[in-house]
Structure formats: C-alpha cells, structure tokens
C-alpha cells in the first residue's frame, strides 16, 4: 500500500461531510482540469458511489485524447467499511485502462482530529504497473490539495 497524508484546517465532521455527500464530493474530488458529477451515493458497507469524471481543461483533454482515453468516464466504488467520522474503505473498479482487463483497487481513508484540524491518511493499493500507480497517487495528492484549499477558503 502507498500512503498519502494531508492535514486540512477543518473538523473531522466537516471533512467527513465533504467526503461522503454528492455536493461535497463535487467541490473537490476531481483532479485539476476535471469535473465530478455524482449520480449515486449509498454510504454503507456494500453501498455504491457512482460518479462521472469529465476532462474540462484543454491540457487534460489533450492528455486523454493522446492516450486514447474517453474525455468522460463513469467510475464506481463499493464501500467496504464506513465508520463515521473516522474511517472509510472502498474498492474502485478500474475499467478505464486501454488494453487492460478491469480489476478492483482498494483505498482506505482515516480521519484523525489534530490541533490544526484533521489529518487525512489514505492507504492506496497500487495499480497494475508503476506508471498507472504514479498517475493514481498524483491524482489523489492533487485531490487532497483541492480539499485543503476548499476548507481553507471557507
């Protein structure tokens, strides 16, 4: 598992709300240059999160086209653990990699109250190769930066 950590200037309850509601997710979930639209969110073990991520910035559109990837993809996650407001775990369906069979990838997220707000720790199961794993880690890091910026601006 790879670890990513950020401390954000908000309470665990606020971070949980941003992480577990459609409106919250839409505000920060996508990496820069993408938009996220949530269609389903059933926050319980076995429940599903479905959303569409769409490239909207010219640089990301060009990257997706260059790599033969669609500009918009539907993503699906199945929650495996939900403990409000401290812990989430979910399996992502990885079905968007050209010329690669779909598979699942586990992410575990912990929210810990600290003096500065909330420490968010993500444990991310690697993808099928180092290039795609680094893309995943870069995307998750960017999303956590977006979350930190969002709560700092409130």
Task: Tell me which residue of 32, 30, 80, 68 sits closest to 51, measured CA to CA.
Answer: 30
- pLDDT tens track, the chain, 154 positions: 999 999 999 999 999 999 999 999 999 988 888 999 999 999 999 999 999 999 999 999 998 899 888 899 899 999 999 999 999 999 999 887 778 899 999 999 999 999 999 999 999 999 999 999 998 999 899 889 999 999 988 8
Q: Which of 2, 1, 6 minimizes the C-alpha distance to 141?
A: 6
- Sign for the CA dihedral angle at 48, 55, 130, 96 comes to positive
Phi, psi of 49 (to 5 degrees): -120, 125
Question: What are the structure tokens assigned to 114, written together?
Answer: 């600290």
- Can you tell me which residue has the tokens 């598979």? 103
Q: Which of 99, 92, 89 is nearest to 67 (CA)?
A: 99
- Give the CA-trace dihedral at 114, 117, 123, 126, to 10 degrees: -140
> The pTM is what?
0.88
**Going from the N-terminus, what domains does the chain have, and what CATH number goes with each?**
2-152 (3.30.530.20)
- The pLDDT assigned to 68 comes to 84
How many DSSP H helices and E strands does the chain contain?
Answer: 4, 7
């Amino acid at each position: 598992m790879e670890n990513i950590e950020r401390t954000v200037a908000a309470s665990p309850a606020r971070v949980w709300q941003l992480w577990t509601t459609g409106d919250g997710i839409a505000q920060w979930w996508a990496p820069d240059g993408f938009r996220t639209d949530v269609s389903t969110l059933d926050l319980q073990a076995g429940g599903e999160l479905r959303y569409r991520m769409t490239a909207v910035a010219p640089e990301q559109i060009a990257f997706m086209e260059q790599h033969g990837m669609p500009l918009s993809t539907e993503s699906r996650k199945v929650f495996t653990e939900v403990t409000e407001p401290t812990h989430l775990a979910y399996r992502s369906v990885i079905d968007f990699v050209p010329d690669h069979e779909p598979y699942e990838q586990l992410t575990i997220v912990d929210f810990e109250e600290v003096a500065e707000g909330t420490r968010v720790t993500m444990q991310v199961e690697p993808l099928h190769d180092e290039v795609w794993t680094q893309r995943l880690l870069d995307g998750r890091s960017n999303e956590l930066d977006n979350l930190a910026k969002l709560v700092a601006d409130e």
